[in-house]
Chain A
Amino acid sequence: MSADLLALTDVRMGFGDGPDVVAGVSLSMSRNEFVSIVGPSGCGKSTILNAVAGLMPVRGGTVTYQGEQIRGVNTAVGYMTQGDTLLPWRTVEDNVAMPLRLRGVNKAEARAKVAELLTMLDLDGAGRKFPAQLSGGMKRRALLARSMIYQPDLLLMDEPFAALDAQLRTQMHRELRSTVARTRQAVLFVTHDIFEAVLLSDRVIVIGGTPAAPTAEVDIPFGADRDIEGLRFDPQFVSLEKQVHDELSRARTLSRVAS
């Protein structure tokens, strides 16, 4: 497996003086790859994303992004956080435009891109609203728009679609998959939803244990132009789903035994 985009080598992390939350985490990603991380709640998935974003220092091991070791904040990635990090005093438009504005793109140009993205994410009428005026799912989509707007080589997404209804989620799945195929972006995707992980990913990494580490990897061989709607009826899809499910159950027991 090539690792020209991202490589975590034997990463160990924890909070304050507490015990290690994750240890011995090694994983790698190549360009334009879609990788999901699944694992029991509280096992350290968001923590791993924070290491890739450079928001949390590692206790041991290295995180290398595009050949360079990450020491400070990694501004080369787009990060859709698990929590709501929209600025409440800015409109949706301003929030979504923020990564561009911070990179010195002028207002008019930013505005055009924002409009395009809001349309794609079904947020047409919401541009002038403040986050407090949005529903939970609309907020998630605004965050999604913000993390995608400047087309970083790697998107970190922490349970991006958890608050959406089934239909909207399917629509988002399709949009995300076709967008990253077009823009040749890689995605590191955290989810609880096995179906979603298998549907979208080229590879699913299961993590578990205390401290947590990858316990299994499942390759999903459907390629970039998969049929998001039809895939669920494919027998191979169903068996892969079962495989991830079994690995996740095993990881869950590991976490339980250790804690």
Chain B
Amino acid sequence: MSVEKVVAPVEVDEAQVAPARAKKRRRRWAMPLGRLAIVVVLLVLWELSAGVVVDEFFVSRPSKIWEKWAEWAADGTLWYNASSTFASAGVGFAIGGALALLVGYVLGGSRRLGDLIEPFITSIYSLPKLALVPLFVMWFGIGRPLQVAICALVVFFLMFYNTFYGIRDVDRSLIDAMRVMGGSRWDIAVRVRLPSALVWVVAGLKLSVPQALVAVVVAEILASNRGLGHLVALNSGQFNASGTFAALFTLLIIGITVDRLVAVITRRALLWKQDGVETQ
């Protein structure tokens, strides 16, 4: 719901408003245009300095990277690897997220159980996740199961605390009000506890979704034969700078796109919270 809609219509002098509006529009375009200009300048500098100031062997040059990228896009390499990364991240996110919601809901709903179990989860949380990779390799081998497992692990911890505290700290007076209105335990669970936790979960997507991708890419770099992380590792292993940069740029673009998507989704989901959680 836009704020403009609720403002009562007031009489305004169009002639006076028009220039101000044009100015506002100009200002809105100034930022993105400025950023684009910076990118173009950097790319041009890179192109010109490669082979002159720095050794092209290490840094390649934008035109060559673009060539490589176009070649991959045409022969299917890009899609073959990107789809694998997405699939692993999707499955890992779903598993880790579902577990986090479930465990967070159960532990958050019962103060005693929560107090009993939560320290264990926190102690595992404080362990560097990457230290678990060798163990996971032992259990899952290399390849998709490993990527999914690491991704699920990372997502679980990012979403567990949001769910746990979201359920636990739900406003007592809201629950009481529902009870007097005749709400059953079930009504309270789905109409108060769950939405109150989802606020935090949705706010946490900003972090957990990109981290799911990061986890998969790291797993692919460490051990795999498919995926964007694998593409980075493979090319750098062959001292192919153009290929390495092409793979990295792909990750960069995916990262930015995912971040924007999540921002839009969170903003829609938290529409009711006007003063709300950061979504930008």
Interface, chain A (partner B; CB < 8 A):
53-55, 73-75, 77-79, 81, 83, 85, 87-91, 98-99, 102-103, 125, 128-133, 146
Contact = CB atoms under 8 A, between A and B. Distances in A.
Contacts of A128: 1
A102 B183 contact: yes
Interface stretch (B146-154, B161-169, B268-276): B268-276
Interface in B222-280: 271-276
A75 B274 contact: no
B9 to A, nearest CB: 13
Interface string B31-57: 000000000000000000000000000
A169 to B, nearest CB: 23
Interface string B178-190: 1111111001000
A99 B179 CA distance: 10
Given A88-B273, A125-B6, A130-B271, A102 B180 contact: no
B1 A129 contact: yes
B187 to A, nearest CB: 6
B195 interface: yes
Contacts of B273: 88-89, 130, 132
Contact of A102 (B174, B187, B272): B187
Contact of B180 (A74, A130, A132, A133): A74
Interface in B181-208: 181-184, 187, 191-192, 195-196, 199
Nearest to A99: B181
A75 B275 contact: no
B1 A77 contact: no
Nearest to A80: B177
B195 A87 contact: yes
B272 A55 contact: no
